[in-house]
Structure 1
Amino acid sequence: MTRKKRLLFLSWRDIHHPKKGGAELFTHEMLKRAVHAGYEIVHFSPMFDGAKEEERIDGVLYKREGSLTTVIHYARKYYRANTFDFVVDQCNTHRFLTKFWVPSNQRVFFIHQLTREIWFYNSKFPVNVIGYLLEPLLLKLNKNDLTMTVSNSTRENLLDLGFQRQKVKVLPEGLDFEPWSKEMFYEKEASPTFVYVGRMVPYKGIDDALKAFIEVKKNLPDAKLWIIGKPDMQYVQTVLGEISNQAHLTIGNANENKDVTLFGFVNEEEKLQYMSRAHALLFPSLREGWGLTISEAAVVGTPSIVYNTYGVKDAVDNGKAGYLVPKKDIKALSQTMLSIIRNPHEYEIKRQQAYDFSKRLHWNHTGNEFINFMRELS
């Protein structure tokens, strides 16, 4: 009987972590399909409050030990006490430095996106400068490793750092639900309505979305902006509130009729409904691995307006499946928002193109590509 191939997958967060995001979803969907294909997989990550030290989820064995700073020690100890065919180091700012303790023929590197300019939005001096300067140096440690990523943008970033073209594999993104048929689309709101879905962090560009919306309101007084996602009330008050107050915009919650509505966290069904009812999703992020929300909006009938930035441009097929505007160009962002209302024929064409491009995404494709990649290594 053929022995199952054993993979050790290292990451800073897992699918049950309270701060899980698209990377953790991608990883779990990929790994559970690999388990069904006959692989034995252990996912190793730090402990967090309320977590179990060990549990099996969809066939994947999740082990947790240590903190963000000590997890490398425990992962190395676990690796040496067990037998694995391959070790996958998932880099999401944090990395496990497997170059120094895993043989080259067992190493696989996995990265969704580089951080680069995000350091200057998420950290203060001198941490931001140190992080910015160290990132390419640390990445070059893995330049000879077999590597997986999720977009051509990130692949090109890696090639620029010296990674070998033939060793870098792009895995396709997936969706967590079946694309809707057109009959399932909700009617668009009577008023021009734009939606932002995501975390309230500076590099995601929610402040730029609000500034562009202010310009739109000067031409379309009945326009609305919906913001969906767990609210950071300090950010709302100090950043969004100040911008809104200067423009005399009103902000309220879901049961108030305001210019800007903060829905907070909503369930998946509600999120898709709001996205389907809006005219466009605003996604002015400075960098992403892909931008899964863009694809989700597309398959419920709503195209996205995005900045021409790494990862994000891949999710709109470089402007063929959505609207691409120059990075940090708020004027271009607002003009595009106006154009989709004023040019309904062009809007319907773009809406169809976004739908056709994104409905091809499925986690089964992701899993199959990962499985094929691993089989090639064997």
Structure 2
Amino acid sequence: MKKILILANNDIGLYNFRKELPQRLLRLGYDVTIALPYGEKVEKFKDMGCNFIETPMNRRGMNVIQELKLLIQYIKIIKKIKPDLVLTYTIKPNIYGGIACRSLNQKVIHTVTGLGSVFIRDLWIKKVLIKLNKFSFKNACHIFFLNKDNQDFYKNIKIIANQQQISVVPGSGVNLKEFQFNEYPNNEKIKFTFIARIIKDKGIEEFLESAKNIKDKHLNVEFDVVGAIDEDIYINKLKEYEKLKVINYLGHRSDIQAIMKKSSCIVLPSYGEGRGTVLQEGAAIGRPLITCDTYGCKDNVDDGYNGYLCKSKDYKSLQNSIEKFINLSFEEKKEMGLNSRIKAEKEFDRDIVIKSYIDKINKITKML
């Protein structure tokens, strides 16, 4: 039986966005082991038939001792499992999993899920990460990117070589059976919904500023903010805007589909995404989208067809897009929602993504 080892940083993300891959691998007869920090979805992976190895990590910190411990853990796990192929997701598993695989001459497929805040901002650590990525990616069997901009960025800074096997998939895709089309809501008020972690790079500043200005002019609109606060500066700021009745802050929620169904339009003015899964999910449900013309976001919207694109880090541009949407008739808004679903079925179906992975995995392991 061929063995697959999956390295990731979070059980929830792996389960919500990629569970179909281990399911398909198990059905094909692979032995699948998942190594990541323990969390609420781990038991679901076990019930599925996956083996599990708890692998603690600090997802955001850069403590040298902790990073070395993670690298050593990966080396030990690979030596113990002796997998035929390793799959890695997100920055730390890509880097340290890649270094471990290279040192052990282990076959590996990396997935670049996004650039992350470190690459968006010009931080000193960016130079260190570029060097680590270059080393860890050098001998990879294949590298998947979620958008072409990220692929081009990695090529331009020479993290990957021109001769390396690379391809672009449409994010993690959407399970269209789980995210079914829902009729466009005939709300009394036009509801704009921001769904993301509450950090600057997701465009929360621009969303709040636009909401404040629009609320002064339009009485028939609502602005909902959904997501956990990951930067403390926004704890009081969201309270302040809620007190002023600019927004409704709904906090971290697990019932995202229910929230999307009540929404008139999903808004994500992010500075950059891997592929913007929340936008793809909103499209699948049949909601118009407003997002930025930046990497990982712009691929989800055909401007004027299923939503609008605005400039990144520009609240006036975002405000203009929101006001354009407000001025549409109900039928025009409804048509945009239908167009979102059509685009989701053509481009965002998770089966497209899973097939790409299975084809590469089978080829590398020579199982089929």
* Structural mapping, 1:80-99, within 5 Å: 80-93=79-92, 95-99=95-99
Q: Report matched runs for 1:317-332 at 5 Å.
A: 321-332=306-317
Equivalent residue for 1:29? Answer: 20
> Is residue 335 of structure 2 the alignment partner of residue 339 of structure 1?
no
Report the TM-score when normalising by structure 2.
0.82
Residue of structure 2 aligned with 1:288, choices 265, 273, 288: 273
Is contact 2:176–2:350 with CA below 8 Å preserved after alignment? no
In structure 2, the CA distance between the partners of 1:160 and 1:207, relative to structure 1 (3 Å rule), is same
* Amino acid aligned to 1:62: F
Q: CA deviation at 1:187?
A: 1.9
Q: 1:238 offset after TM fit, Å?
A: 3.2
Letter in structure 2 aligned against 1:59: G
Distance 2:92 2:46 in 1: 26
5+ residue gaps in structure 2? Answer: 59-65
Alignment of 1:105-254 (within 5 A): 106-115=107-116, 120=121, 129-141=123-135, 142-145=137-140, 146-162=142-158, 163=160, 164=162, 167-172=165-170, 173-176=172-175, 178=177, 179-181=179-181, 184-231=182-229, 234-242=232-240, 244=241, 250=243
The 3-state SS of whatever aligns with 1:299 is helix
Q: Is the alpha carbon distance of 1:304 and 1:260 closer, same or farther for their aligned partners in structure 2, counting shifts above 3 Å?
A: same
Counterpart residue number, 2:249: 262
* Superposed counterparts of 1:4-43, under 5 Å: 4-13=1-10, 15=11, 20-21=12-13, 25-43=16-34
Alpha carbons of 1:101 and 1:357: their partners in 2 closer, same or farther (altered >3 Å)?
Answer: closer
Corresponding position of 2:61: none
> 1:284/1:165 Cα in 2 relative to 1: closer, same or farther (>3 Å)?
farther
The offset of 1:150, in angstroms, is 2.3
**How many residue pairs align between the two structures?**
346
What CA distance in whole angstroms lies between the structure 1 residues aligned with 2:304 and 2:164? 27
Cα distance in 2 between the residues matched to 1:93 and 1:67 = 9
Counterpart position of 2:74: 75
Please give the secondary structure, in 1, of the residue aligned with 2:267. Answer: strand
Q: Is the 8 A contact 1:93 1:115 kept in 2?
A: no
Residue of structure 2 in register with 1:297 after alignment: 282
Q: For 1:294 and 1:326, how far apart are their aligned partners in 2?
A: 17
Could you list the runs of 5+ residues in structure 1 that have no partner in the other structure?
121-127, 252-257
Separation in 2 of the partners of 1:222 and 1:180? 28
TM-score, structure 1 normalization: 0.80
CA 1:177/1:266 → structure 2, altered by over 3 Å: closer, same or farther? Answer: farther
- Contact kept? 2:147, 2:168, Cα under 8 Å: yes
Cα-Cα RMSD:
3.0
Give the whole-Å Cα distance in 1 for the aligned partners of 2:83 and 2:147: 28
Indicate if the aligned counterparts of 1:283 and 1:307 stay in contact, CA closer than 8 A.
yes
Secondary structure, in 3 states, of the residue corresponding to 2:82? coil
Please name the residue that 1:45 is paired with.
Answer: 36
Would you say the 8 A contact 1:35–1:59 is kept in 2? yes
Structure 2 CA distance for partners of 1:200 and 1:339, relative to 1, 3 Å: same
Distance 1:90 1:200, change over 3 A: same
Contact (CA 8 Å) 1:188, 1:277: kept in 2 or not? no
8 A contact 2:298–2:309 mirrored in 1: yes
Give the secondary-structure state (helix, strand or coil) at the position aligned to 1:137.
helix
Give distance in 2, aligned partners of 1:75 and 1:197.
Answer: 33
Secondary structure of 1:352's counterpart equals helix
- C-alpha distance 304-262 of structure 1, shift in aligned 2 (>3 A): same
